[in-house]
A and B are shown apart, each in its own frame.
Chain A
Amino acid sequence: MFLKRKDFFDGPGAGKEGAGPERAASSKDKPPVAEREAGATPGPEPAARTQKPAAGPGPQPQAAERTNANGPLPRRGATAVRVTDRRLEAQLDYLEQLARASKRGDLAGEVRLVRAYLGRERFTVAVVGEFSRGKSSLINALVGRDIIPTGATLTTKVPIHVQGGRQACIVAPTPSGRRIYPLDDDGWSDLEREETPQELAVRVPCALLAEGELELVDTPGVNSQIVNDFTFADRALVSCDCAILAVSAVAPLSELERHLLEEHLVAREVPRVMVVITMLDLVDPGEREALVEYIGSGIRSISSSCPIYLSEEGLLEGWECQSGPRAISRQLLSWVEQSGHRALKLARARMEASVIAQSLRELFGLRLDALDDDRAKREEATRRAERETLSTARIDWGELEVEFLNRCNQNFERIRKLSEERQRDLLERFSIELSHSPNPKDWYQLDYPYRMKSELVSFGNTLESALQKSYGKDVTWLNRELESRYGIKVPPEATRIADRELFRQSLGQSDVRLRDMRATRIASRMGAGALTVGAYAIGSALSLGPIGIAMSTGLGIVSEIVLNGTVSRQRRALERTLSSDVPEIYDRCIKTVEDAVLDLYNKTAEELRGTYDSWVRARSAAVSGPGEGADPEGQRTKIAKIVSNLDAIIERHPITKS
């Protein structure tokens, strides 16, 4: 141990001004800067934005671009990818109208995106993946020029549309129009200082882009966002003709990447999907083939037709035709040329329409159920009203409460099962990674906490949305029972599943831990930064709730001695550690979440008891059945019609006019 004078700061003579100021200082442990802003003069304004000649709305690039990208470029017949289809258009109109009528602006917006997609002439290639997987580097390689900044930390913050143009420039939309920046380091840093656009376009002279009327879209890493992990990727994906999933050889095929490929690319019928393996140069040459095979088999298990390319040439024998930017460009261009693309695009748009229809179907389906239930319950209520006494009502309420809490337990069973499946998967993957890692100790100390983190974040998201959905359902159930039997509801009454905030609000005091899950998500944006560094840092510095706790207790119990042993000894020891570590981490995570959720159900049950008391007091006013709708039968028929129309769109059959 280095330190001999542990008492330096507290011994006699410590602190010239005695202990007072110290205590004062730490009690004021508040923002370093906000505090001084109050007293001191604010720093000078950032220097005026005058230095860069091109930083203004430069007329030149704009003019050049007008005759180029927007103007009539020579077009080839085969590249026309605009699609028109009457039936689909009618369906889209119908969906938009329903979405508007149900006040679902979000769905109406999605309909518009699908329309725009059908009408677009460019062949759009979205590059997606987790952060720091070399997406931007790949685009630079394809364009043959370093146009987009790359880096070890989070770099790409908004989607960047790279298009052909005569003059290289960055185009940033501004509230009042748009602004052109030079396409160089200065341009990027000026831009970063001056604007915070939602997305950007980069124009660059480039044969690949011009020839195929191709557009490349760089996206921020999928797990790097605050609000929703897939927002940016999804937005780019809805309107793309092709997607490239960038997978790093150094952290091959995570849970999130599989999910992205399976749910967001394959299931959503993106017409063409390609996987590009980056950073293979960082892998020991002897290990490359096995690694590529491992990634390949993982991908084939999700999609059999998705080609795999390596981002660089000359890395692996036998892969010459599928290595490097030129091979990738060739593949992209051949896709552009293929006449089948129109059909794929149409199929894709139908798919999107069907997804939107499903959301609406859920909505109208619920209404229909409610009407049906009401009818049955109404009849029952009239019968009840005759014989019901306060005592039977009490039993009734008690049963409801028990049933409600029972539902909570069923949810737990479900998530436990889910957790077991995921643990098994994860352990299997870790063990493969461990056996491929030339330096298990580094893997364990650097990669593992990070991997574990992203798995838990993704698991947290899954849990959260699953539980939120079930809670919404359970409360809706409870309220429907209550309303039809007694004409009352228990707050929270509005439980629209799509409204994520609601879940948190309804948690009230006890939501801290679930909110922490969100903090984790925010943390994952900083990223790399906040969370990768090691167990103790995560737990203490960020106090991240379930995940933080799990990570800080679960990690770091492998002794130094083992970690300094031979590679195979390390592997064995680490495998053992992992197989006890991982379940424990999951267990803690789930327990914490369960506590919070149980609390929530209990609160609602308490509400229920309170409501019962007031109901009893108001009981003197006779049991009245729920108010008759003006024309329940007519309404029912109308909604049933809508539901069957939506079913037709979901099945991708023609709809009949209502």
Chain B
Amino acid sequence: MTSIKDFLSKINTSPVVRSYVAMDRGYGFPMLSIVGDRLLVTVFYYRVLPRKDDKSLIMPPEYVLSFDYPSCRLANFEALRMSPRAEGVDFEKPVGTFRHDAIKDLDRAAYQAKKDELYALLDRLIANLGGEGEFTDEDERRLAALYQLLTEPSLHPAYRICAPQFFSRFIAE
């Protein structure tokens, strides 16, 4: 099975992302959605302007891409700058700063460890969706806790719009 980490690195080096997403954009945490009989992984890309002391500026997400799992085929592409859904958004205006309070006290290694744990749980969820292995209620609670801890609150509206069901199950407080 393709781990979500490999999956992400595969899509991020794919011609699609290379050619159509501007180079310096970072991406948010992946979200899952189910469309018909396909499992889609949705990611959005946005810019962070680095500043010292947890004051890096988070800019509004600009692209939303969904990929079919595990084939990595592009299933949807939306350039928010052009999308009616994002009418009125000032893309030159920061939406928040990185890092948010909840993770201020984590050092680099601890942050990475949480992230790895999230990805590992996500792998188990995906496996389970594919009919393999277990994904218990406890797992689900833990995964939700990690999403809630790690995702930037200022980006929550974006997460919600990209995958409403996933958002309400794993990210919404």
In the complex, how many angstroms separate the beta carbon of A81 from the nearest chain B beta carbon? Answer: 40
Q: B96-134: which have CB < 8 Å to A?
A: 96-97, 128-131
| Contact between A42 and B93, CB atoms less than 8 A apart | yes
| Contact between B158 and A541, CB atoms less than 8 A apart | no
B residues less than 8 Å from A17 (CB atoms): 168, 172
As a 0/1 sequence over residues 1 to 33 of chain B, the CB contacts with chain A under 8 angstroms (1 = contact) are 000000000000001101111110000000001
> Can you list 30 pairs linking A and B with CB atoms under 8 Å apart?
A2-B39, A2-B70, A3-B129, A3-B130, A5-B129, A9-B33, A10-B165, A16-B168, A16-B169, A22-B164, A25-B172, A26-B164, A29-B161, A32-B86, A33-B158, A34-B87, A34-B89, A36-B95, A36-B154, A37-B90, A40-B96, A42-B94, A46-B57, A151-B23, A446-B15, A523-B82, A526-B81, A530-B20, A537-B74, A537-B76
Question: A5 — nearest CB in chain B belongs to which residue?
Answer: B129
Q: A230 on the interface (CB 8 Å rule)?
A: no
Q: A1 on the interface (CB 8 Å rule)?
A: yes
Residue in B22, B58, B94, B165 whose CB lies within 8 Å of A22: B165
| Contact between B164 and A25, CB atoms less than 8 A apart | yes
| Contact between A32 and B89, CB atoms less than 8 A apart | yes
B residues less than 8 Å from A529 (CB atoms): 20-21, 63, 77, 79
Q: A53 on the interface (CB 8 Å rule)?
A: no
Q: A123-175: which have CB < 8 Å to B?
A: 151-153
As a 0/1 sequence over residues 506 to 546 of chain A, the CB contacts with chain B under 8 angstroms (1 = contact) are 00000000000001001100111110111011001110000
In the complex, how many angstroms separate the beta carbon of B90 from the nearest chain A beta carbon? Answer: 8
Q: B69 on the interface (CB 8 Å rule)?
A: yes
A residues less than 8 Å from B37 (CB atoms): 1, 3, 6
A residues less than 8 Å from B78 (CB atoms): 541-542
Question: B24 — nearest CB in chain A belongs to which residue?
Answer: A189
Known: A16-B172, A32-B80, A537-B76. 10 other contacts (CB 8 A): A4-B129, A9-B165, A33-B158, A34-B89, A43-B58, A46-B57, A47-B51, A533-B16, A536-B75, A542-B82
| Contact between A532 and B169, CB atoms less than 8 A apart | no
B residues less than 8 Å from A657 (CB atoms): none
| Contact between B85 and A46, CB atoms less than 8 A apart | no
Question: B93 — nearest CB in chain A belongs to which residue?
Answer: A43
Residue in B33, B82, B86 whose CB lies within 8 Å of A522: B82
Q: A402 on the interface (CB 8 Å rule)?
A: no
In the complex, how many angstroms separate the beta carbon of B81 from the nearest chain A beta carbon? Answer: 7
In the complex, how many angstroms separate the beta carbon of B71 from the nearest chain A beta carbon? Answer: 8
A residues less than 8 Å from B20 (CB atoms): 153, 527-530, 532-533
A25/B168 contact (C-beta < 8 A), A33-B95, A533-B16, A534-B74 known:
yes
Q: In the docked arrangement, what's the CA distance between A29 and B95, Å?
A: 18
Q: In the docked arrangement, what's the CA distance between A151 and B18, Å?
A: 11
Question: A4 — nearest CB in chain B belongs to which residue?
Answer: B131
| Contact between A33 and B86, CB atoms less than 8 A apart | yes
| Contact between B61 and A32, CB atoms less than 8 A apart | yes
A34/B88 contact (C-beta < 8 A), A5-B129, A536-B76 known:
yes
Q: A74 on the interface (CB 8 Å rule)?
A: no
In the complex, how many angstroms separate the beta carbon of A34 from the nearest chain B beta carbon? Answer: 4
Q: In the docked arrangement, what's the CA distance between A152 and B21, Å?
A: 10
In the complex, how many angstroms separate the beta carbon of B89 from the nearest chain A beta carbon? Answer: 5
Q: B160 on the interface (CB 8 Å rule)?
A: yes
Q: Which 3 A-B pairs have the closest CB atoms?
A: A43-B94, A4-B131, A32-B158
A residues less than 8 Å from B75 (CB atoms): 536-537
Q: How many residues of A are counted as interface, with CB atoms below 8 angstroms from the partner's CB atoms?
A: 53
Q: A58 on the interface (CB 8 Å rule)?
A: no
A32/B60 contact (C-beta < 8 A), A15-B168, A533-B16 known:
yes
Q: In the docked arrangement, what's the CA distance between A434 and B158, Å?
A: 41
A residues less than 8 Å from B96 (CB atoms): 40, 43
Q: A40-54: which have CB < 8 Å to B?
A: 40, 42-44, 46-47
Q: In the docked arrangement, what's the CA distance between A14 and B128, Å?
A: 15
Name, among B34, B60, B77, B129, the residue most crowded by chain A CB atoms within 10 Å (CB to CB): B77
Question: A1 — nearest CB in chain B belongs to which residue?
Answer: B37
Q: In the docked arrangement, what's the CA distance between A151 and B21, Å?
A: 12
* Interface of A toward B, CB cutoff 8 Å: 1-6, 8-10, 14-17, 21-22, 25-26, 28-37, 40, 42-44, 46-47, 151-153, 446, 519, 522-523, 526-530, 532-534, 536-537, 540-542
In the complex, how many angstroms separate the beta carbon of A532 from the nearest chain B beta carbon? Answer: 7
Q: How many residues of B are counted as interface, with CB atoms below 8 angstroms from the partner's CB atoms?
A: 64
| Contact between B128 and A5, CB atoms less than 8 A apart | yes
B residues less than 8 Å from A47 (CB atoms): 51
In the complex, how many angstroms separate the beta carbon of A279 from the nearest chain B beta carbon? Answer: 14
In the complex, how many angstroms separate the beta carbon of A42 from the nearest chain B beta carbon? Answer: 7
| Contact between B22 and A153, CB atoms less than 8 A apart | yes
In the complex, how many angstroms separate the beta carbon of A224 from the nearest chain B beta carbon? Answer: 13
A residues less than 8 Å from B83 (CB atoms): 541-542
Residue in B16, B49, B93, B157 whose CB lies within 8 Å of A32: B157
Q: In the docked arrangement, what's the CA distance between A471 and B143, Å?
A: 61
A residues less than 8 Å from B90 (CB atoms): 33-34, 37
In the complex, how many angstroms separate the beta carbon of B136 from the nearest chain A beta carbon? Answer: 12
| Contact between B16 and A43, CB atoms less than 8 A apart | no
In the complex, how many angstroms separate the beta carbon of A511 from the nearest chain B beta carbon? Answer: 16
Name, among A4, A37, A527, A529, the residue most crowded by chain B CB atoms within 10 Å (CB to CB): A529
Residue in A8, A31, A533, A534 whose CB lies within 8 Å of B88: A31
A residues less than 8 Å from B172 (CB atoms): 16-17, 21, 25
| Contact between B55 and A46, CB atoms less than 8 A apart | no
A46/B34 contact (C-beta < 8 A), A32-B158, A33-B89, A522-B82 known:
no
Q: In the docked arrangement, what's the CA distance between A188 and B61, Å?
A: 23
In the complex, how many angstroms separate the beta carbon of A17 from the nearest chain B beta carbon? Answer: 7
Question: B128 — nearest CB in chain A belongs to which residue?
Answer: A5
| Contact between B69 and A36, CB atoms less than 8 A apart | no
B residues less than 8 Å from A44 (CB atoms): 55, 57, 94, 97
Name, among B19, B22, B55, B80, the residue most crowded by chain A CB atoms within 10 Å (CB to CB): B19
In the complex, how many angstroms separate the beta carbon of B94 from the nearest chain A beta carbon? Answer: 3
| Contact between B39 and A3, CB atoms less than 8 A apart | yes
Q: B147 on the interface (CB 8 Å rule)?
A: no
In the complex, how many angstroms separate the beta carbon of B6 from the nearest chain A beta carbon? Answer: 15
A14/B165 contact (C-beta < 8 A), A30-B85, A33-B158, A43-B57 known:
yes
Q: In the docked arrangement, what's the CA distance between A162 and B85, Å?
A: 40
Q: In the docked arrangement, what's the CA distance between A231 and B128, Å?
A: 55
| Contact between A5 and B131, CB atoms less than 8 A apart | yes
Residue in B51, B82, B167 whose CB lies within 8 Å of A25: B167
Q: In the docked arrangement, what's the CA distance between A47 and B93, Å?
A: 12
Question: A45 — nearest CB in chain B belongs to which residue?
Answer: B94
A residues less than 8 Å from B80 (CB atoms): 32
Q: In the docked arrangement, what's the CA distance between A300 and B172, Å?
A: 63
B residues less than 8 Å from A2 (CB atoms): 38-39, 69-70, 130
Q: In the docked arrangement, what's the CA distance between A255 and B55, Å?
A: 49
In the complex, how many angstroms separate the beta carbon of A40 from the nearest chain B beta carbon? Answer: 7
A residues less than 8 Å from B168 (CB atoms): 15-17, 21-22, 25
Question: B21 — nearest CB in chain A belongs to which residue?
Answer: A529
Q: In the docked arrangement, what's the CA distance between A550 and B95, Å?
A: 37
A residues less than 8 Å from B155 (CB atoms): 32
Residue in B49, B82, B156, B169 whose CB lies within 8 Å of A46: B49
B residues less than 8 Å from A37 (CB atoms): 90, 93, 95
In the complex, how many angstroms separate the beta carbon of B155 from the nearest chain A beta carbon? Answer: 8
Q: In the docked arrangement, what's the CA distance between A47 and B97, Å?
A: 12
| Contact between B169 and A526, CB atoms less than 8 A apart | no
